Every structure is written in C-alpha cells, then in structure tokens.
A and B are shown apart, each in its own frame.
Chain A
Amino acid sequence: MTDEAAFRALLLKGLSGDEAAHRSFLTEAAGLLRAFFRNRLRGRPEDAEDLVQETLVALHTRRDTYDPNYPLTAWMYAIARYRLIDFLRRSKLRAHASLDGVDVADVDPDYDASDARRDVATLLSKLPEKQRTAIRLVKLEEKSVREAADETGFSESDIKISVHRGLKTLMHLMGQEQPT
C-alpha cells in the first residue's frame, strides 16, 4: 500500500485514538522509512534501522504537527530528512563520505530487516522513574491507563502525561547518542 489517501486515513484515525489504525500507520511508515534510509546509508543497515526507529518515535510524538491540508508523505519525509541530517551531523560524516568505498551489493540479503544498532529498551531504562514506570505499565505490560493509575497511585492524566513525556525523552535520548 503506497496509497497516500489510505495512508493518511490511518494517521488521522490514529490521531483520534484508534490503536489498530495507528499501528498500521507506523508499520506502513516503517517500510517506507526503511527504504528511504537504506537508500541513503548503503552498507550501513543497522544505522538505517536506528534511524527508522528514531523517526518512528518522532512521527509518533509529533503526530499532532501534521497539517491535513498537505500530503502526509511530505510531512513524513521532511521529518525523516531532518533525522538523517541530524544523524550525519552527530556522526560527523558528510552524506557523500558515507557512500565512499561501499558497494551497493554489500547489503546482506539475510540481514534481519529490523535489527537496529541501538537498543531502545536500554534507553527506556534511562528515563526518569515516573516516566519509566508509566511507559512500562501502559506500553509494555499492556495495562490500561486506569489500571496503571490504580497501581501507582498517580491520577490517570498524570499517567498519560508521563507516557507522553517519556516518549519525548526517549526521542531526546536517541538524538543525543553518538553513533559509532
């Protein structure tokens, strides 16, 4: 599916809280982003996958900045391009240098499409405690916000805010890392 209208419908449904649609949107986006980053970082599939993950978190935490009057793909690739530039700046590589001496055929066909260099789980453990707990309960242990609130003694809106902040912190941590 590369149909802009259908892709857009998924994001908009996700924006109104439809979990299945949001998952489909992210899955679809991951495929497009993987192609985008692999094309630009040939021979470095782990870096490309790091960027896929980083961009997915960016798309998710900033999804309210999508302006429905403009194409969704323009929004998505603008963010992807920004993440790539930021990544290259961090790794002090110029875009052309990253292509030097790498044969296109170097890409390992057996390479698992979703193996990243960086482990998001490790980064999650670096979050402030409240954010970490909220994300663990709601996002990893599949508890509802209500259950998480009961378990921790925080209010429901506190939990929601902590999850949201936690994901933004995660985004920040991803951007701080010095790629090797």
Chain B
Amino acid sequence: MKTENLIDLLARNVEPAQRPRFVQRLAAMLALGLAAALLLLLLAFGVRPDMATAPIPVMLKAMFSAAAAAVALPLAMRLMRPGRPLGWRVGALLVFVGVSALATIIALMGEMPERRLDAWLGGGFPWCLVLVPLLGAPAAALLMWLMRSFAPTKLASAGAAIGAVSGGVGAMAYSMYCPVDSIAFVTTWYVLAIAICAALGALVGSRLLRW
C-alpha cells in the first residue's frame, strides 16, 4: 500500500478524538493499587501487633512513602505523552534522595555510637527490600497497563518512574507492618526498596511498554 493510500485510509471518516482523562484514570489506578497492596498485606502478613498503640510512627512512615510516590509521579505523568521536557521533575527526585541521605546521617549522629548499627539496620535483615516491591507489584501492573494506552517513547524511564511510584505505594502499605521505627532505617531502606522497584520497572517497562 502506498503512503498516500494509507493517509486516505487513516483520514477517511475520522472521528473526533475523545479527550483522554489522564488525571482521573491515573488517580483510579493509584487508588486501586494502594487498595490491592493493603489487601495483600492484610491477607499475607497482617498489621503489626502494636498498630493501635503506635499510630504516630506508622503514620510518619506512610507519609514518607507517600512523599516518595508523589515525587516520582510527575515524572511518570510526563513520560506518558511524548515530546515534553522533564524539567524540574528529575531535580525534585534527586532532592528527595538527597534529603533522605542527609536525614539518615543526622539521625545516626544523634544515636549513641553503640546503638547506631541497630538503628540503621533495624536489628536484622531489612525485609522491606523484598516486601515493598512485592506489595507495589499490583500498582505497577495497573500503571503499566495504563501507560500502554498512552504513548511512552522512553520506555526504560517510563518503566522506572512507574516502578518508583508503585514502590512508594507498596511502602505505604508496608509501613503498617514494618516493626522498625528508627528514622535512619526508613530513610535508608525504604528509599533503597523504592529504588529497587524503579530498577525492576525499567527492566520490565522496556519490554512491556513497547507499542
């Protein structure tokens, strides 16, 4: 088929394009993803036993996770539609990581030297590295599916942004279970767990987001 015939085919009887509801659909996916993460958490692990008596640390950790998701979200939204510069959005992400690193150092300085390692590692293996990606997986799947109906042209970046947002969502759920409340633990391992989600997202996205 010649190109001019193809143009005829595409143009003929063209319908008015529907205005895509980017924000509504994105919000719906995020809400669903969070609900799925919470459900998964409740079914598989349950909330921490002292949830009722320790609402403040849980809330702070959930807010920190939400902030991480919120910082990655503008990048994901940018990458949905081609030809738009990322601008300040990368900077915002870097500032978040920088502030987290700084908070880790300050928090550890405030601990007694013999308690520092415990405050940092939370007294064991930081399970969030495994569980946050797991809990973020439903959100990631939903966001990938949404992204596919748009036109991402930088697949690895788009996948990484989706991974980071989903990691933040997963971490929000995980904070209801996570028994460690030390600041340095959260600012190190939550951020790393979300970074793992971003890396996984880049890997998966560069395949899955092809269109």
Using CB atoms and an 8 Å cutoff, list the residues of chain A in contact with chain B: 14-20, 22-23, 26-27, 30, 49, 52-53, 56-58, 60, 62-67, 70-71, 74-79, 81-82, 86, 112-116, 119-121, 135, 138-140, 142, 144-145, 160, 163-164, 167, 171-172, 175
Contacts and interface: CB of A to CB of B under 8 A. Distances in A.
Given A17-B15, A17-B17, A19-B12, 5 more contacts: A14-B14, A15-B17, A64-B19, A82-B154, A171-B211
B78 to A, nearest CB: 10
A105 B81 CA distance: 37
Given A17-B14, A19-B13, A74-B83, A65 B151 contact: yes
Given A15-B16, A120-B1, A62 B11 contact: no
B23 interface: no
B150 A60 contact: no
A121 B1 contact: yes
A22 B11 contact: yes
B14 A66 contact: no
B187 to A, nearest CB: 35
Interface of B: 1-4, 6-20, 80-84, 150-151, 153-154, 210-211
Contacts, number: 121
Contacts of B2: 112, 114-116
The secondary-structure label for the interface of chain A is: helix
Contact of A139 (B4, B12, B210, B211): B12
A79 B84 CA distance: 12
A19 B14 contact: yes
Given A15-B16, A70-B84, A23 B3 contact: no
A112 B13 CA distance: 28
Contact of B153 (A19, A20, A82, A119): A82
Given A23-B8, A49-B3, A121-B1, A78 B82 contact: yes
A122 B83 CA distance: 32
Contacts of B18: 64
Contacts of A171: 211
4 shortest interchain CB distances as A-B pairs: A75-B83, A17-B16, A78-B82, A74-B83
A114 B3 contact: yes
Contacts of A53: 1, 3, 6
B211 A138 contact: no
A18 B154 CA distance: 31
Query: Which of A60, A113, A160 is packed against the most chain B CB atoms within 10 Å?
Result: A60
